[in-house]
Structure 1
Amino acid sequence: MTEKIKVIVVDDESRLRRGIEKLIRSNGEEWEIVGSYATGQSCLDDVVKLDLPFDVLFTDVKMPLMSGLELLTRLNERVSKSYYAVIISGYDDFEFIQKAMREGALDYLLKPIDRLEMQVCLDKINAKFHKNEVLSEPESKNISIEIATQWIHEHLHESLTIEKIAGKVFMNATYFSEYFKRKTGETVLDYITKNRMEKAITLLKTTNMKIYEISLATGYTDTKYFSKLFKKHYGMLPSQIRHGE
Structure 2
Amino acid sequence: MRSRTILIVDDEPRSREGMKKILGVWAAGQYEILTASNAMAAMQILEEIPVELIITDIRMPEISGLALVSQLREKKIQRQPSVILISGHAQFEYAQQAIHLSVMDYLLKPASREKLIASVESALKAGEEREHIVFMRKMTDPQLMAIRDEEAALSDPVRQAMHYVETHIEEAVSLQEVAAHVHLNGSYFSALFKEQCQITFSEYVARRKLQKAKELLLKTNLPIAEIASRTGYQAVKYFNKLFKEYEGMSPGRYRSMRDGTEAHIQ
TM-score bucket of the superposed structures, by smaller chain = 0.3 to 0.5
- Scaled by the length of structure 1, the TM-score of the pair is 0.47
Larger Rg: 2
- Scaled by the length of structure 2, the TM-score of the pair is 0.44
